[in-house]
Structure 1
């Protein structure tokens, strides 16, 4: 997890606030002595951020859209209040064109999902997947009752994530096994699995999602450039992709896309 690289004891208050907000799914960047939301944030994120900071009575100085913590100290307990702030259920819908090759190729960036709509233990991961240019509609941390999962936008986004997962995330020893499945209303999803007699553990889920999220953030620009240079709207590529998708040959689709991107 990112906080292992710079221990909490070494962080000042501003750095702790930055860390907590990022863990909760806000895309935050440094701007001189200030913090501000980065591109990729939704229109509601700034309003939600102000609401959250005000609700928790955190002393903040605002300079336009930039903000600064008005104290050098920021307790771990306050960080926890931010990172564990509950999400809100929201409707997820897709149009038919989202499943098509053209929509996948044309979209250069991910989706701007509202941070506080997402479950707290998976929000950072959803935002990071979108930051890497892989459209992700939503995520659920499972609420300790069922498997945590991410919903991708269409089959091609799930196939592309499977490739990225193997090439960028396979180094991690994770608590759970995370696999892409090609089914459900969105076409594809990433789902965690555990041993039959094992119980879901919120801390282990969080640890897994943060590890993967920070790695994707680190390589986000590189991943977006690879996608843009590998997949095109030409007729031959479209025919091959759509044929594999409509026939349900999803593993062949992943192999074909991987060859194109190498």
Structure 2
């Protein structure tokens, strides 16, 4: 997690507000004296930011789509109210083309998922995966009952994330083991794994997802560029990829992607 008590003490109110919104899954950037949502945001995110800030009675000045905190201080308790703001359930659906090689290759960017439709302790991670150009449909923080997970769009997205995870995220000290699994309606998902007698811990889940989210955001442009330069719609590459997918040889698919993208 980027923030700690020392760094928070050095932040002014506007910086704390930006940090809290980013932790809740909104993609926020500085725009002069204002804050603004980045291009990776969904259409609903701007409406939801306004609704969220208004519901918490946070004093904000709006200048079109940009906003500014009208106080120099922003207490940690208000940051926690933003980061823990409850998500809303929504249906996740996929079309058959999501599983095709052509769809994987053609998509240069991730999906624009509404931040407030995601669970609070995994929303930033879902947004970061999409920001890195890997289509991620949704995420669940498990509600301390089930394993936290992310749902990728098709098998190829999951296999590509496995490559990215091994090359960019394996040096992170995480509380749980996160593995890509290839089953379920979306084709692939990332799942947190714990010991048999261990209980799920919100702080540990949040710590893991934020560490991975921040790392992916730092390398998002590089990851998108690697994908665009490595995978093509030519017949030979399509046949190789489809061979692994159709025969359920997903680990080999990921290994093949790693070699192609070297």
- TM-score relative to the length of structure 1: 0.99
CA distance in 2, matches of 1:209, 1:251: 23
Q: Displaced runs of 4+ in structure 1, greater than 4 A?
A: none
CA distance in 1, matches of 2:172, 2:228: 26
- Structure 2 CA distance for partners of 1:232 and 1:199, relative to 1, 3 Å: same
Shift of 1:28: 0.2
Q: Which residue of 1 aligns with 2:206?
A: 206
Q: Any idea what the Cα deviations from partners look like across 1:171-205, whole Å, max 9, x if unmatched?
A: 11100000000111000000000010000000000
Q: Which residue of 1 aligns with 2:25?
A: 25
Q: Which residue of 2 aligns with 1:244?
A: 244
- TM-score relative to the length of structure 2: 0.99
Q: Which residue of 2 aligns with 1:196?
A: 196
Q: Any idea what the Cα deviations from partners look like across 1:123-170, whole Å, max 9, x if unmatched?
A: 000000000000000000000001000000000000000000000000
Cα RMSD of the aligned pairs, angstroms, is: 0.8
Note the 1:134-153 alignment, pairs <5 A: 134-153=134-153
Q: Which residue of 1 aligns with 2:234?
A: 234
Where in structure 2 are there 5+ consecutive unaligned residues? none
Q: Any idea what the Cα deviations from partners look like across 1:196-252, whole Å, max 9, x if unmatched?
A: 000000000000000000000000000000000000000110111111101101011
- SS state at 1:191 partner: strand
Shift of 1:7: 1.1
CA distance in 1, matches of 2:250, 2:67: 46
Where in structure 1 are there 5+ consecutive unaligned residues? none
Shift of 1:5: 9.4
* 2:135 matches 1:128: no
